[in-house]
Amino acid sequence: MLGWALTFLVVALIAGALGFGGIAGASAGMAQIIFVLFLILFAIAMVARAVRGKPPL
């Protein structure tokens, strides 16, 4: 999932450099949403791991 966020970030940067404002904005927005989703799922996984008695990474 983090790979998708990075992919959309790269697309946004390239589109912004080439002057495609709408595509850059949409890609940046999607990258932000996917990154936040990744962080939330990561936090849930760490809490679940700690509840099971295993130390977090």
Domain ranges of the chain: 2-51
pTM of the prediction?
Answer: 0.68
Model confidence at 2: pLDDT above 80: no
Task: Write out pLDDT tens, residues 5-57.
Answer: 788 788 888 888 888 878 888 888 888 898 899 999 999 988 988 899 877 66
Contact 50, 34 (CB under 8 A): no
CA torsion 21→22→26→27, rounded to 10°? -50
